[in-house]
Amino acid sequence: MKVGHTDQHAFFTENGYLVVEDLLEKDEIQALVDDYGQLLKTLAPQFYAEGKIPAAFEDLPFEARLTAVLSESTENLFAHFDISLPNATITNETPFHLSKSIFNMIKNPRILDVIETLIGSEIYASPIQHVRIKPPQTKIERNQQQSSLVQRTGWHQDQGVAREESDDTEMITVWLAITDATLENGCLQIIPKSHHGEIAPHCPVGAQMIIPEKLLDSAPKPIPIKAGSALLLHRRTKHASLPNISNRIRWSFDLRYQPIGQPTGRDELPGMVVRSRQNPKSVQASYEEWVQSWHNAKKELVQQAERPKLHRWDGNAEICA
């Protein structure tokens, strides 16, 4: 359901989700497409030279080329495309992708205007952020090492995959569509009003933390949205993706926002102030400083003997047996 600006807070509070159309302009979407097109143009020959893929697939258009790169390798190459450090041991070679178009997207004023209606004007961009570029499911099933970010996402709550210290943080997830998200290509599905309950136990399934389906409260509601639009989620709203049974990729970004000063649940990673009516000078204006903060965090994580625990679940709950 789509609602007007004046009803956003009430609808979100009652239902735990909100669809907002046209948050990105066409030129802003194109800037991200161009960014990733250039990244793939750089990486594919590099992967081929390193023996990670059988060809560089130069003659293929972007979507087909990316699908080929991800499906024809036995390695997890997706970290090169993600906009955060992975939930794993960090080394000097761990890749990630931060660009000016991503910086601009996170700070997009139309996104922040909506967030302000929900949590107020003192807004912090959480470092729990990802890109999801999902090829057709049949194309990637044989690559068992592939990132969970390109696979079908199981049922979970975003609060459930962060640390307990952030349980009271008023975090809003912005699931931002770069391509149309349809029933065929794997749009999100949610359990409306499930945010009124508690955090459900999550069980490890591969690289994901999943809520067992027997704990779902009611029938799922698929939420197809157009490119440039967003699905906003409460931190306790149960959600998952449908499989991509189409012949094209489905591309989205996960962005998260919260009030300034509240724990992120990933405090070893850098967020940034993106709006402050009270202290406008605190807003991160420098793309270069933002990128440097991530490289500094990576350096510190490389030097740590053990990565801080990422979530509360160990799989020992009876429901996981």
Q: What is the pLDDT of residue 3?
A: 47
Q: What is the pLDDT of residue 143?
A: 56
Alpha carbon distance 297, 18 (integer Å): 33
- Does the pLDDT of residue 100 top 80, yes or no? yes
Tokens of 197: 């309950």
Is the CB of residue 45 less than 8 Å from the CB of residue 52? no
Question: Sorting pLDDT into bands at 50, 70 and 90, what band is 2?
Answer: very low
Q: What is the pLDDT of residue 146?
A: 59
- Does the pLDDT of residue 144 top 80, yes or no? no
User: How confident is the model over 235-287, as pLDDT tens digits?
Assistant: 999 999 999 999 999 999 999 999 999 999 999 999 999 999 999 999 999 99
Q: What is the pLDDT of residue 7?
A: 87
Distances (CA, A) of 194 to 34, 223, 225, 236, 264: 38, 15, 21, 7, 22
Alpha carbon distance 195, 144 (integer Å): 32
User: How confident is the model over 120-133, as pLDDT tens digits?
Assistant: 999 999 999 999 99
Q: What is the pLDDT of residue 1?
A: 40
16 vs 217: which has the higher pLDDT: 16
Task: Give the chain's mean pLDDT.
Answer: 92
User: Residue type at 64?
Assistant: A
User: What count of residues does the chain have?
Assistant: 321
Question: Sorting pLDDT into bands at 50, 70 and 90, what band is 307?
Answer: confident
